Amino acid sequence: MSQKSKKVVCHISLKDGVLDPQGVTIRNALAQLGFDDVVEVRSGKVFELTFKPEVTNDVRAKSEEICRRVLANPVIETFGVEES
Under the rule (CB under 8 A), what is the footprint of its own copies?
5, 11, 13, 23, 26, 29-30, 33, 35, 37-52, 55, 57, 62, 66, 69-71
- Minimum CB separation from its own copies for residue 23, in Å? 7
Q: Please identify, using beta-carbon distances, which residue of 13 and 81 lies nearer to its own copies.
A: 13
Gap between the terminal Cα atoms of the chain:
21
- Minimum CB separation from its own copies for residue 18, in Å? 13
- Minimum CB separation from its own copies for residue 75, in Å? 19
- What's at 68, amino acid-wise? R
Given a contact cutoff of 8 angstroms between Cβ atoms, the answer to whether 38 and 24 are in contact is no
Q: Please identify, using beta-carbon distances, which residue of 2 and 57 lies nearer to its own copies.
A: 57
Q: Please identify, using beta-carbon distances, which residue of 6 and 75 lies nearer to its own copies.
A: 6
Q: How far apart are CA 50 and CA 27, in angstroms?
A: 33
